[in-house]
Copies of this chain bind each other. A is one copy, B any other.
Amino acid sequence: MSEPRSIIAGVEVDQPDVSAATAAAAHAYAGYRGTSPEQRAVFLEAVAAEIDAGQAAIIEAAVAESHLPQARITGEVGRTTGQLRMFAGVVRRGDHLGVRIDPPLPDRAPLPRPDIRQRQVALGPVAVFGASNFPLAFSTAGGDTASALAAGCPVVVKGHPAHPRTGHLVAEAVTRAVAACDLPAGTFSFLLGPGNELGQALVTDSRIKAVGFTGSRGGGLALVAAAARRPEPIPVYAEMSSINPVVVLPGALDGDATDLAAAYVGSLTLGAGQFCTNPGLLFLPSGGAGDAFLVAAGEAVAGTTGATMLTGSIAKAYRSGVAALQTADGVRVVAQGGEGGDDAPAPQLVEATGLGGAVDDEVFGASGVVVRYDDTPGLLAHLEALEGQLTATVHATDADTEAARALLSVLELKVGRILFNGWPTGVEVGHAMVHGGPFPATSDSRGTSVGSLAIERFQRPVAYQDVPAAVLPEPVSDDNPWGLTRRIDGELQLP
């Protein structure tokens, strides 16, 4: 098998030439953004179909490169193609175009009102950085790529060095779909090469108009800083780090908490803990019921064995994060699982007397911190002190309703998703999902990187005033040929 290479505008090349890729994307932009909803939807479906057709090889490569189980990777293929097909539906419906029409009022005094129409247009070429932990769903043809393509933006992917073969196979699938749909070749390019340098070059290229990134806080902040240094600043949607607090309210510990503890440890250790939404911090009531939960959770952790992590450097970072945590003030180790090998470090559970220092730092992997609280005010004070997060989870029963309401209004300002009586790992792809949140969970809390709202990150509004009918773009023309829902004089009108 040959080495996976970059693909620029449909052509396999040896060098990840950033300028060539962005020039091709800029060239493709006019044609690609001009596609009709049906053309664009068919293209997104063609990408999904090409991935489906190539899935045997893709799954084999992704399992080999990521060390994730085959069932998980197979599920991720379905998630990836499902996402693409969801965006095809979004594009066909066209609500993301946000069409608004304020009809003229020629007789208004003292001045007539002109005819004003509005729609959203695609921002331009988008740079997408694949994630290590989702080699498919958050990578080459993952959520950022699918939503940017759906918005009408050409995409240049920086393939993740942890899964070059997987990335290349998926890039080939996208490339085949571009050709089959007769779209401009520069609609999609895939660059493989040395990480930081290539990433900086891509983000600072003047032709790139927005960035989607999923990865570490350090990596994300470096891209944000690079984008801010550009003569023309651009939006950077970096999904970076989160410890995803879980709050166990007293009612949830009524009766036997063994099942709850086991479910917690299941979420904590799922996929070697390598989820952006891994529940890294749990708030537990003081007292006997909390003690029992902690003992049960410790036993569950002790019964686990480390799974091989995505890369050797991720395993190494996990080990050093674990060491920092174990030696931090006020931290005691509750339990550790078994070592699974050099790159399969042991899961662990620790208890901390409070927040701060290493306790609040994300340890990417299966490491959990438990903090005890005495009452609702004490719990709220802990939550107020947290940084922005992707998710917050509450375990509660009807007896906890009052406390749960108080929590909700604090958590709304801290996180992108609040969930009850479940676990944050597993992010449903749909219309109501938010995978985002206040800094530093992301660099821009106005967006989501999962779900159909993600398309809105790659658009901006344009108004058309008294533009003659013969010149008006189709989505804002009187006869509404695309059958769009439109806001007429402020009021939504279904087609």
Contact = CB atoms under 8 A, between A and B. Distances in A.
Given A102-B428, A235-B446, A398-B470, A116 B433 contact: yes
Contacts of A113: 428, 430
Contact of A465 (B89, B93, B398, B420): B420
A467 B102 CA distance: 38
Contact of A461 (B93, B102, B434, B470): B434
Contact of A118 (B409, B432, B461): B432
Identify which of A30, A89, A446 gathers the most chain B CB atoms within 10 Å of its CB. Answer: A446
A206 to B, nearest CB: 11
B409 A30 contact: yes
A473 B408 contact: yes
A38 interface: no
Interface stretch (A141-149, A185-193, A364-372, A486-494): A486-494
A431 interface: yes
Contacts of A404: 468, 470-471
B466 A408 contact: no
B431 A467 contact: no
B453 A118 contact: yes
Interface stretch (A61-69, A169-177, A410-418): A410-418
A421 B487 CA distance: 25
A312 interface: no
B421 A463 contact: no
A232 interface: yes
A116 B410 CA distance: 19
A138 to B, nearest CB: 18
A416 B467 contact: no
A100 B431 contact: yes
A483 interface: no
A467 B418 contact: yes
Given A228-B228, A464-B418, A492-B492, A102 B471 contact: no
A333 interface: no
A452 to B, nearest CB: 7
Given A30-B409, A116-B430, A490-B90, A466 B102 contact: no
B95 A465 contact: no
Contacts of A123: 445
Size category, A interface = 35 or more
Given A417-B463, A431-B102, A443 B233 contact: yes
B114 A409 contact: no
B116 A463 contact: no
Contact of A408 (B93, B443, B471): B471
Contacts of A235: 444, 446
A123 to B, nearest CB: 8
A401 interface: yes
Interface string A95-113: 1001011100000000101
A422 interface: yes
B233 A419 contact: no
A430 B95 CA distance: 20
22 contacts: A90-B490, A95-B492, A102-B432, A111-B426, A113-B428, A114-B422, A118-B434, A121-B413, A123-B445, A224-B233, A228-B233, A232-B440, A233-B439, A233-B443, A398-B468, A401-B471, A416-B463, A418-B462, A419-B467, A421-B466, A431-B487, A448-B461
Q: A-B pairs with the 10 shortest C-beta distances?
A: A419-B465, A434-B463, A100-B432, A116-B432, A118-B432, A417-B463, A228-B228, A102-B432, A102-B430, A445-B460
Given A93-B491, A405-B470, A430-B490, 19 more contacts: A98-B453, A100-B431, A100-B453, A101-B432, A114-B422, A116-B432, A118-B432, A124-B413, A228-B233, A232-B439, A235-B444, A417-B463, A417-B465, A418-B463, A418-B464, A418-B465, A418-B467, A419-B464, A420-B468
